[in-house]
Chains A and B, each alone.
Chain A
Amino acid sequence: MAVAVEVAVAMEVVSMSDLLTAVSIMFIVTGPFLLVANRYDLPTVPFFILAGIAAGFGLDAFGIADELTLEIAQYGIALLVFSFGVGIDISAVRSVIWDSELAALAQIFVVGSVGYALSVALGVTPSEGIYVGIAAALSSTIVGRGLVQTDIQSRLVRGRLSNSIQFVQDLFAILLVLILGTGLGTGTVGAGPVAMAVGYGLALIAAAFLVNRYLFDAIGRLAGDSDELMILGVVSLLAAFVGAAQSADISIIVGAFAAGLAIRHDPIEYLGLFNGLESVRDFFVAIFFVTVGALITFPFVEAAWDESVGKLLVAGGIVVLTAVVKPAITTAVLLFRGYERRTATLTALSIDQVSEFALIIAIQALLLGQISETLFDAIILAAAVTMVTSSLSQRYDEQLYRALVNRGLLPSAHGKIDAWSDVPDNLSDHVIIVGYGRQGKRLAQTCDDLDQPYVVVENDPARRETVAAESDAVVVGDAMESYTWEKANVEDARIVLSTVASKPVSRRLLSYNFDADIVLRATDQSEARTLLESGALYVSVSELLAGQQLAEHIEALLEGDLTAADLREERQADLALRADVIQHHLQ
C-alpha cells in the first residue's frame, strides 16, 4: 500500500522518538515489578534492576540500543548523588566523625581489604579486585534506611548506628569515585593526577559552601513564591556544578554531590522545592536503575555457557562477601568498639547489601574501561540479590541472632557488662529502669526525689557516661540477655519499668517470670492489651494519654469554658515550668 509508506514518512515528524519509546518500555515493564516489590514489602532497587533485565529484551525487540538511555540514566546518577548531598546534616558529620562511630571506617577498610584479597587470590586481576572490594564494603543507604526505619523512629541504638555507618560509607564512596575516576585503579597513574583531582573536588565543595551561603537565598528571593522557578534554578545549579566537574576532568558525581551541598537548606522554608526535587529524582533514579539492569548481558540466555558460569561465580563470590563475610566483620568491629552483642549483630544484619554507590562506581569504571563487562554484570547481579537477601535477613534478624547465640558463635556477653556496669552488691527492693531516654530520665528523677534506690539498664554505649554520671547504678547491657538481669539483681527488685516500646523486648521481659512487678510500654492498644493479659502490671501507651488530654482541651474550648488565648497562656506557662525543671535536672 503506497499510503502506508507515505504515512511512515510523515510519522517521523509527528511520531515520538526512539528515546521516548525506550523510556516508555522501561516504565511499562517496571510497573508490574514494583507491584511485586510492594506486595512482598521488599526494597524497590533490586526490582528496578530486574525490570531492567526484562526491559532489555523489549528494547532489543524494538531495535533500541542500550546506550540510548545511558544519557538519561546519568541524570539519574547525578540526581541520586545530588539528593544525598542535599540531605547531609553538617552537624551530624561532625558528631559521627568525632563520635565512637569511627567504627564505620574500620568496617569499610577491613571488609574492603578482605574482598580485594579474596578476589585476587581467586584470580581476579588486582585492578578489578579493587571494585570487588568496593562492592563488598559499601552498603546501600536507600535499601538500608528503608529497612531500619522503624528502628530509627523508635530511637534504637542499632537504627542510629547503621544509619551513620551508611552515611560514612556514602561519603567515602564519593571520595572513591573522585580518585578512581583518574584511573588510579589501573596502576598507570601516579600521585600527581590524583592530587589534582582531589584538589578540584575540594575546590568544588568549597564553591558549594560559598553558593550555599551567598547565592542560594538570593535565588530563593528572586524566585519569590514560584516553585517552578525555584526548581528550575536549582536544576540549573546542578547542571553548573556538573559542568564544572566535567571541565575540570573529574567525575560528574563529585559535581552533583557538591551541588547538593550548595542547596542544603532547612526544607521548611522551601517545601515546594524539596518536594518537587523528590519527584524529579524518583523519576530519573528509576530510569538509572532500570538502565543498569538493561545493560546486563544475562547469563545463559544472552551469553555463552562458559562466560555465564564465570560471571555467576564472581557474582556468587560478591554475594557471599556481602551477605556473610561483611556482617561477620561488622559484628566483630562493633563488638570491639564496645557495643553489646545483640546490637552489633542486628546492626550488621541491616547493612548486608551492595550499595547503589557501588553501582555508580561500577558503571563509571565500565565506561572508563577499567573493568570488564563480566565483572560489571556480576556486581549488578550481586547487588540485586543482596538487596533482597538483606531485607530477609532484617526481617528474621532476631531469629538469626538467637541461632548464632545458641550455636555459641558470639562471644559471651558477660565481660563487657561486668566491665561497664556499676551496681552496689547489697541492692534490694530497688527499681529497675530499662532505657535512659526521656521517660527513663524522668523515672530516675522520681526515684532520686524519693530516695528510692534504682538501677538503669541501658544498651547504648554512647549514653553510658551520661547514665553513669547522673544515676546511682547502671548496667550497660541488653534487656534481651538474662545476664543483664542477673547483674541488675532483679531477684530482689521491687519493680521493673521498661521505657522501650519494642515488642520483642516486652515479650522477653514477661517471659523471664520475675517476682518483681513489670511495667511496659507499647505503641498500640492491642499490643498493650496482650501484654496486660500476659502479666504486666501496667502498660503505658503514650498516644492514649495524649488523646485523652486533647479531648479535654477541645471539649473545654468548644463548650466555651476556655478561650483559645487562655488555653495558650496556660499551656505556655506549663511549658516554661517544664523547661525549668528539665534544665535544673541537667545541671
Chain B
Amino acid sequence: MATEVALTVDLAIILFSATLAGFVAKQTGQPTIIAYILAGVVIGPAALGIVEVSELTELLSELGLAFLLFLLGIKMRLEEIRHVLSSIVKISIPQMIAVFLVGAGIAFALNFGLVESVLIGLAVMYSSTAVVIKMLTDKDEATSLHGKLDVGVLLVQDVVVVIILAVLAAGQPDSLAEVATTLAVVLVLVALVTIAALVSSRTVLPVVFRRIADNEEIFFLVAIAWAFLFVFVSDNINLFLEPLFGITAYLSIEMGAFMAGVAIAQLPYSKELQDRVNPLTDLFVMVFFVSVAIDLEAAQLFEYAPEAAIAALVLMPVKFLIFFSLLDWQGFGSETTFLGSINMIQVSEFGIIVAAVAVEGGFIEPEILGFMTLLAIFTMAVSVYLIEFSHQLFERFEPTITRFTSEGDFEGGKQEYRDHAVVVGYDEVTQNALPLLAAHYDDVVVIDRTVEHIETLEAEGYDAVYGDFRNATIRKDVAVSKADFVLSSSVDPAVNSVLLESVDEEATVLVEAERLEDARLLYESGVHCVLMTPYLAADRLGEYLETYLKEGSDDELEAALESDIELLDSTGSFPGPGGGTGTGTGTGAGLGAGPGTDDSNGSGSGSGSGNGGGLDE
C-alpha cells in the first residue's frame, strides 16, 4: 500500500541541516558558506554519519558548481572586462608559480615526501571559485574592478587545473612529450569552446533569444538548455575526440558552463536571466558546500590535522602577499589591490579534486586527501570572514596599506545613474511622458519586458533595460534608489510597493492603479499621483454621454469628439499636439486653478483631471 512516489531522506537531511545552520549563521552574523560546510561535517561520516552521498546529491552539487559558473558567465560582458585582460594573465601565472613553490616548500618542511610535496604544491595554487564568486555575488561586487580581476584570475586557474587534472589522470607520464601533448590538446579545446561561445553570441543566439524573450518560461528554460549543451559537450568531449583524433582529454564542466554564460552575457537580455538563475544556483551550491566534507571518514580527515593547521596559517598570509604585490605591480591602487588580494587567500575545492585524482592515480595516500580537505575547509572558513569584512579591514588599515602600495593609475568602473528619471513599463500611457522627461533629465531609463518596446526605445535614443522590475538586479541596474523621478505604468500592487520601498524620499513618484483601495494605499505610502485609467475612461465617457443627451449641444460634442480623434491620429508619440489642442486654456488656467474645478465639457478633451467636475453635478 505504500506509495512508491517517494523522495530520498538524504536530501531532506541535507536541506534541514543546512537550513538550520544557515539561520543560526544569519542570526549570529556568520557567512552562510561556513554554516553549510559545518553542517556537512556534522552530518557526514566524520561526526554523526547520518548521510551518504547519493546520486541525487552528487548531481545537485555538480549542478551547483556548473550553475555558479554559468551565472558568473552571464555577468561577463566582454566590453567590461577587456581592459583588465592582460593584467589578469600577468597576475595569475606568476602567482601560481609562487604559490606552488611555497606550498611544496611548506609540505616538504612538514615531512611529506617529495612527490607528495609537489602534488600538494600543485593543489594549493588555486583560490576557491565557489567561495570567492559566491561571496562576491552576495556582496554584489562581482562586476567591481577587484571582482573582475579575481574572477579573471580564477578562470585562468581553472584552465590550469583542467590541464593538471588531465595530466594526472593520465597516470605516471611516460615522457615529457606526452605531458606536452595533453597540455596542447586541452589548450586547443578551451580555445575551441571559447570560439564556439563567442561566435554563437554573434550569430545564432541573438536571433533565437530575440524570438523567445517575451515568454518568461521558455526564455529561462532555453537558456538553461544552452548551458547544458556546453556542459554536456565539455564532459563528453572524448566522444568526439577519440573517434576523430584518437586522443582523450578532459574539459571541466565548469569551463563549459562559464562559456555558455559568457555567450548569453553579450545579449541585451542577460540581466533578466541573472535573477532567474540565481535562486537555483543558491540551492544547488548549498548542496555543493554541504557535501564538501561529506565523503571522508574521520580518521582520514584528521590524520594530518596539525600539519593542515600549520600549512593554512602559513599559506594564507603568503597568498595574500603574493597577490598584493602582483596587483600593486599592475598599478591597481591601494583599495583594489587590497580587496582583490584578501579575496583570494583560500585553498580551492579544486585542490581537493586534484588530490582525489592523485589518489586515484596512485600518486598519494587517501590521508593526503584528508589533509587537503581540511586545509581547504580551514582556509575557506577564515577567508570567508576576511572577505565579509574586507571593506572594514581596508578602512582600518588604510594608512598602513597605502604606505606599501604605489600610486594607482588604472582606470575602470562605469558611470552610475544619479538624479535621473526611471520609467517602469513602456505603453500608450507612459510614452507621452518620455519626451517631457528627456527634455528635463540627462538620463531617462525605461524598463520593459517586451523586446519590441526595447528596440523602439533604443531607436528613439532612450536608455532601455530589458527585464522585470520585480527583480532586484534590474532595480539596482537602473539605480532606482537614486532617481529623482519615477513613473510606473504597472497596476500590479507588488511592483508598485517594491518601487516605493526602493525610491528615495525626495523623488517624485507617479504610478498607475486599477482599484480605488490600491490608489488610496499608494497615496498613503507617499505616491504623488495615481493614475486610474479605467475610472478616467469611465468618467470621460459619462461626460460625453451627458453632452450627447443635452439638447442643442451638438457642436460642443462634435468639438470634443473631434479633438479626441485627433489625439488618436497623432498616435500619441508627441504629447505636444495631443495635450496642446485640448488644454489651450487648460494648461494655464485649468492647472493653475487646480483640477477638479475645470469645466472639461467646455474645453473638449481638456485635462483629464477635470473629470472631478463632471462628477460634481
Contact = CB atoms under 8 A, between A and B. Distances in A.
Interface string B217-248: 11011101110110110011000001000101
Contacts of B535: 438, 578
Contact of B279 (A38, A277, A551): A277
Contacts of B595: 570, 574
Nearest to A572: B523
A249 B4 CA distance: 10
Interface string A25-62: 10110110011011100001000000000000000000
**Most B Cβ at <10 Å: residue of A1, A20, A235, A579:** A20
Interface string A543-576: 1111111111111111001101101101111110
Contacts of A499: 541
B7 A74 contact: yes
B527 interface: yes
Contact of B516 (A11, A189, A564, A578): A578
Nearest to A451: B549
Given A34-B225, A548-B605, A268 B542 contact: no
Contacts of A529: 568-569
A25 B545 contact: no
Interface in A57-81: 68, 71-72, 74-75, 77-78
A275 B429 contact: no
A38 B215 contact: yes
Nearest to B428: A543
Contact of A21 (B165, B170, B235): B235
Contact of A442 (B538, B575, B616, B617): B538
A524 interface: yes
B169 A10 contact: yes
Contacts of B572: 525, 544, 547
B419 to A, nearest CB: 13
User: Interface extent on B, as a size class?
Assistant: 35 or more
B516 A250 contact: no
Contacts of A16: 62, 231, 235, 253
Contacts of A17: 55, 58-59, 62
Interface in B395-428: 427-428
Contact of B218 (A37, A542, A549): A37
A504 interface: no
Interface in B249-285: 250, 252-253, 275-280, 282-283
A44 B216 CA distance: 12
Nearest to B236: A21
Contacts of A23: 59, 63, 228
Contacts of B472: 227, 272
Given A13-B353, A282-B220, A571-B528, A75 B436 contact: no
Contact of A271 (B248, B277, B429, B498): B498
B360 A13 contact: yes
B579 A546 contact: no
A570 B56 contact: no
B565 interface: yes
B437 to A, nearest CB: 7
A37 to B, nearest CB: 7
A558 B510 CA distance: 13
B248 A229 contact: no
A574 B165 contact: no
Contact of B607 (A181, A280, A363, A552): A552
A18 B56 CA distance: 10
Interface of B, secondary structure class, is helix
Nearest to A256: B7
B429 A578 contact: no
A217 interface: no
A344 B439 CA distance: 52
Contact of B545 (A19, A181, A497, A549): A497
B579 A268 contact: no
A71 B7 contact: yes
A84 B6 CA distance: 20
A546 B220 contact: no
A267 interface: yes
A547 B431 contact: yes
Interface string B168-201: 1111000000100000000000000000000000
Contacts of B330: none
Interface in B496-538: 497-498, 508, 510, 512, 516, 519-520, 523, 527-538
B111 interface: no
Contacts of B353: 13-14
A226 interface: yes
A558 B283 contact: no
Interface stretch (B41-49, B84-92, B337-345, B581-589): B581-589
Contacts of B385: none
Contacts of A544: 428, 564, 567-568, 572
A78 B8 CA distance: 13
B333 interface: no
Interface in A443-460: 443, 445-447, 449-450, 452
Given A24-B232, A27-B225, A558-B436, A574 B549 contact: no
B282 to A, nearest CB: 4
Given A11-B169, A38-B215, A452 B3 contact: no
A528 B566 CA distance: 12
B232 A28 contact: yes
B22 interface: yes
B516 A550 contact: no
Contacts of A227: 279, 282, 472
A554 B444 CA distance: 14
Interface stretch (B11-19, B147-155, B454-462): B11-19
A276 interface: yes
A181 B3 contact: yes
A115 B561 CA distance: 57
B423 to A, nearest CB: 11
Contact of A14 (B250, B428, B534, B539): B250
Contact of A552 (B59, B138, B530, B587): B587
Nearest to A445: B542
A439 B286 CA distance: 53
A532 interface: yes
B498 to A, nearest CB: 6
26 contacts: A4-B248, A9-B360, A10-B357, A13-B353, A20-B231, A24-B229, A31-B221, A44-B218, A183-B1, A229-B26, A235-B283, A236-B19, A268-B497, A271-B498, A438-B534, A447-B545, A538-B565, A545-B536, A547-B431, A551-B433, A552-B586, A552-B607, A552-B608, A556-B587, A564-B508, A571-B528
Given A231-B279, A538-B561, A546-B536, 9 more contacts: A3-B248, A11-B250, A35-B222, A71-B8, A280-B279, A537-B561, A538-B564, A545-B537, A550-B429
Interface of B: 1-9, 11-12, 15-16, 18-19, 22-23, 26-27, 32, 55-56, 58-59, 62-63, 138, 165, 168-171, 178, 208, 211-212, 215, 217-218, 220-222, 224-226, 228-229, 231-232, 235-236, 242, 246, 248, 250, 252-253, 275-280, 282-283, 286, 353, 356-357, 360-361, 427-433, 436-437, 439-440, 470-472, 487, 493-494, 497-498, 508, 510, 512, 516, 519-520, 523, 527-542, 544-546, 548-549, 561, 564-565, 567-569, 571-572, 575, 578-579, 582-583, 586-587, 591-592, 594-596, 605, 607-609, 612, 615-617
Closest 7 CB pairs of A and B: A276-B279, A549-B608, A31-B225, A10-B169, A542-B537, A543-B428, A442-B538
Interface of A: 1, 3-4, 6-7, 9-21, 23-25, 27-28, 30-31, 34-35, 37-39, 44, 68, 71-72, 74-75, 77-78, 181-183, 189, 193, 222-224, 226-229, 231-233, 235-236, 239-240, 242-243, 246, 249-253, 267-268, 271-272, 275-277, 279-280, 282-283, 286, 363-364, 367-368, 431, 438-439, 441-443, 445-447, 449-450, 452, 495, 497, 499, 517, 519, 521, 524-525, 528-529, 532, 537-558, 561-562, 564-565, 567-568, 570-575, 577-579, 581-582
